[in-house]
Amino acid sequence: MSEQHSRREVLRGGLAAATVGMLGVPEWVLPALAQGATVVPFLEFPEQFNANPAPDRRLYDTRTLESFVTPKDQFFTTQHYGHPVLDEATFKLYVGGLVNTPKSYTMAELKKMPKGEVMFGFECSGNRAPVQGLCSNGKWTGVPLAALLKAAGLKADGREVVFLGADHGTEEVEWRTQKYSLDQQFGRSLPRDKAMSAEPLVAYAYNDEPLSRHQGFPLRLIVPGYYGVANVKWLSEIQVQSDPYMGKYQARWYRTVRGEMINGEMKWMENAVTAMRLKSFVARVTKEAGGHKMVGVILNDGTPIKSVEVQIDGGAWQPATMDKQNTKYSWKLFHYDWKGATPGEHTIVSRAIDVNGVVQPTEKELENKKSFLEHNAQHPRRVMIA
The count of other CB atoms within 10 Å of the CB of residue 34 is 12
Q: Report helix, strand or coil for 344.
A: strand
The answer to whether 239 and 230 are in contact (CB under 8 A) is no
Indicate whether 34 pLDDT > 50. yes
Tell which residue, 329, 295, 331, 367, has the closest CA to residue 134: 331
Tell which residue, 168, 194, 191, 172, has the closest CA to residue 182: 172
Compute the distance between CA of residue 311 and CA of residue 331 in angstroms, rounded to an integer.
21
The model carries a pTM of 0.90
The count of other CB atoms within 10 Å of the CB of residue 334 is 26
CA 372 to chain centre: 16
- Summarize pLDDT for 204-252 with one digit per residue, the tens: 999 999 999 999 999 999 999 999 999 999 999 999 999 999 999 998 8
- Summarize pLDDT for 112-167 with one digit per residue, the tens: 999 999 999 999 999 999 999 999 999 999 999 999 999 999 999 999 999 999 99
Q: What is the pLDDT of residue 5?
A: 38
Indicate whether 316 pLDDT > 60. yes
Q: Between the CA of residue 160 and those of 128, 156, 207, what are the distances in Å?
A: 30, 11, 30
* Domain architecture of the chain: domains with CATH: 7-74+276-385 (2.60.40.650), 77-257 (3.90.420.10)
